[in-house]
Amino acid sequence: MIRTVATTPYLGQKPGTSGLRKKVKVFQQPNYAENFVQAVFDVVERPAGSTLVLGGDGRYHNRTVIQQAIRMAAANGYARVIVGQGGILSTPAASNVIRKYGASGGLILSASHNPGGPDEDFGIKYNIANGGPAPEGVTEAIYARTQTIDRWLTVDAPDVDLDTVGASRVGDLTVDVIDAVADYAELMESLFDFNAIRENVAAGFEMAFDAMSAVTGPYAVEILERRLGFPQGTVRNGVPLEDFGGHHPDPNMVHARELFETMFGPDAPDFGAASDGDGDRNLIVGRNRFITPSDSLAMLAANAHLAPGYAAGLKGIARSMPTSAAADRVADALGLPCFETPTGWKFFGTLLDAGKATICGEESAGTGSDHVREKDGLWAVLLWLNVLAVRRISVDALAREHWARFGRNYYARHDYEAIAKDKADA
């Protein structure tokens, strides 16, 4: 039976470029998460009998909100919820699941690369049927609804077993708990030459991958160690933790310091990489060579044809406004269109849906392609591995060849973390 719970609006539930992000204690207030989820259900497009995808990066409060969202989906007329095992779905994997199973959309519970834990951050964002972040028209409608909301709907039902793959019922709703890794790994195998990478590994190619105790751990272990043959232990910090081990899961020189020390140390492997809290960002570093995200986009675009999924060539390259023009030089040399967008992956989604671009990237360590509608950290790592395997070249040598051919772009990026919102806005 559907139960209606009376509520009143909370101020400030305005989604940003990646949904609503606040401290866990804010989300733990009575009706806070429920108001936002109900606002989403009230305004988004969804035909009768729709499927909702649900999952998150495993941070603290993830499971609590998933259980409540399942009950609310049952009360709001969804026919099916697909949830990642353990409540886990990386952001790119969630995009893939939405697209693969024809869902009307999905709720991704993440605060991306922000710290996790009882005193840290939590977030909810809605992705639409193309698998990408909700466009501004949708997020504005959600925000408007949060300002007038007076009730949310639920059903009385016990918690779902999130840890066992299989189907169960909540009211009239079917809940399918799926292997969070299998669909994504299958997609990656369709894009990249796993045989070439395996041969390179067998020939002695070594790498280190830091999953930062975040969501990509299970994906990286399955793909890198089990399917590609890298030795056990190649993936560091591979178990997702609710507080990311007390670390800040942002793949940069500060927060992935141990990886940098490894890659610039005396016994450095050939290749180093990391991903962030929800799996959509990447860090690429070779032996004694850091590759900036802007350069990584350009270098991948110049070599993408070496991967089977991109052998037919690129339709175009897109970059965000703050990202260096290195990709523009590649596009010009290859005779490809190049697009500059505002910050926010949703703007790339418009180009991808229109068939105008194949590869996109931004200076904040996000790179991706038309295989999903989100940036994808592990995808970027695998494309690098594919290119290095085919060319049998080091990261440093590839970078130097690239700069010799296309020129080298320089830019500065300054990060300011944990600033009060009013001062940040100013």
- Could you report the per-residue pLDDT of 257-266, keeping only the tens digit for each? 999 999 999 9
Tokens coding 393: 């070249």
CA atoms within 13 A on the CB side of 193: 20
* Terminal-to-terminal C-alpha distance of the chain: 49
pLDDT at site 424: 85
Instruction: Tell me the angle at which helices 32-43 and 136-146 cross, rounded to the nearest 10 degrees.
Output: 130
pLDDT at site 182: 95
pLDDT at site 425: 85
pLDDT at site 344: 85
* DSSP-derived secondary structure letter, 309: G
Alpha-carbon gap, residue 374 to 134, rounded angstroms: 11
Q: Which of these, 147, 149, 175, lies nearest to 163 by C-alpha position?
A: 175
177 bridge partner residues: 83, 166
Q: Which amino acid is located at 194 in the chain?
A: F
Beta carbons within 8 Å of 371's beta carbon, 6+ residues apart: 96, 187, 191, 309, 379
Collect the ranges in the chain with pLDDT lower than 50.
Answer: none
Alpha-carbon gap, residue 108 to 126, rounded angstroms: 6
Look at residue 147 and give its three-state secondary structure.
Answer: coil
pLDDT at site 416: 80
Cα 309 from chain centroid (whole Å): 20
pLDDT at site 339: 98
Range 165-197 burial, b when 16+ CB lie within 10 A, else e: eeeeebbebbbebbebbebbbebbbebbbbebb
pLDDT at site 296: 98
Alpha-carbon gap, residue 69 to 58, rounded angstroms: 15
Alpha-carbon gap, residue 259 to 282, rounded angstroms: 13
Place of tokens 């949830």: 83
112 is catalytic: yes
Q: Is 180 left (phi over 0), alpha (psi -120 to 50) or beta?
A: alpha
Q: Which of these, 274, 286, 215, lies nearest to 250 by C-alpha position?
A: 274
Q: Which amino acid is located at 17 in the chain?
A: T
Q: Annotated catalytic residue: which of 18, 112, 213, 324?
A: 112
